[in-house]
């Protein structure tokens, strides 16, 4: 199994905020959680830990008898900067099934990987997402996420 580290961002008003505004919010100190995501090429679905969804205070819906989160903004470190990989809530391949105890905070399955044109490079020990290389984590524990920024949505200390 291979893991990558990423940040899950909580943007206020996800439906109304454009990419430029998201980048401004990131620079201003918008709240995020650093998580380990399992790359699972055998999974036909993407998964997220329920406790992480609760921390993010995001709403999920029931679809086909499963709780699903339809919108999730992730970023990966590339050349020292966070590169945002936003989702389009209209696409079922972007959905994350909300479950109590997945193998990691996030499980990125084939649908998520396919949409981002991900390529696994075992020689370099990582994967490429939209042409940007993301290295695998050396640690493989599945401990829960941690909030790594203590700012509110407006970028002000709480």
Q: In what order do the strands lie in the sheet with 119-121?
A: 119-121, 126-129, 132-135
pLDDT, position 131: 84
Q: Is the pLDDT of residue 78 over 60?
A: yes
Q: DSSP string of 80-118?
A: TEEEEE---TT-GGG-EEEES--SSSEEE-HHHHHHTT-
Q: How confident is the model at residue 15 (pLDDT cuts 50, 70, 90)?
A: low
What was the pLDDT predicted at 2? Answer: 92
For the ranges 11-15, 61-65, 97-101, 131-135, the lowest mean pLDDT is seen at 11-15
| All domains of the chain in start order, with CATH | 2-147 (2.40.70.10)
């Amino acid at each position: 199994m291979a893991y990558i580290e990423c940040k899950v961002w909580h943007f206020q008003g996800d439906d109304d905020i454009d990419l430029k505004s998201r980048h401004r919010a990131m620079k201003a100190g918008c709240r995020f959680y650093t998580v380990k995501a399992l790359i699972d090429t055998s999974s036909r679905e993407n998964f997220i830990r329920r406790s992480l969804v609760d921390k993010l205070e995001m709403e999920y819906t029931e679809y086909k008898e499963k709780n699903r989160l339809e919108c999730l903004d992730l970023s990966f470190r590339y050349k020292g900067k966070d590169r945002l990989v936003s989702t389009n809530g209209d696409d079922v391949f972007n959905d994350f099934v909300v479950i109590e105890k997945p193998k990691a905070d996030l499980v990125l399955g084939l649908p998520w990987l396919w949409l981002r044109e991900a390529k696994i490079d075992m020689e370099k020990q990582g994967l490429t997402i939209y042409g940007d290389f993301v290295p695998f984590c050396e640690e493989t524990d599945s401990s829960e996420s941690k909030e790594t920024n203590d700012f509110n949505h407006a970028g002000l200390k709480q």
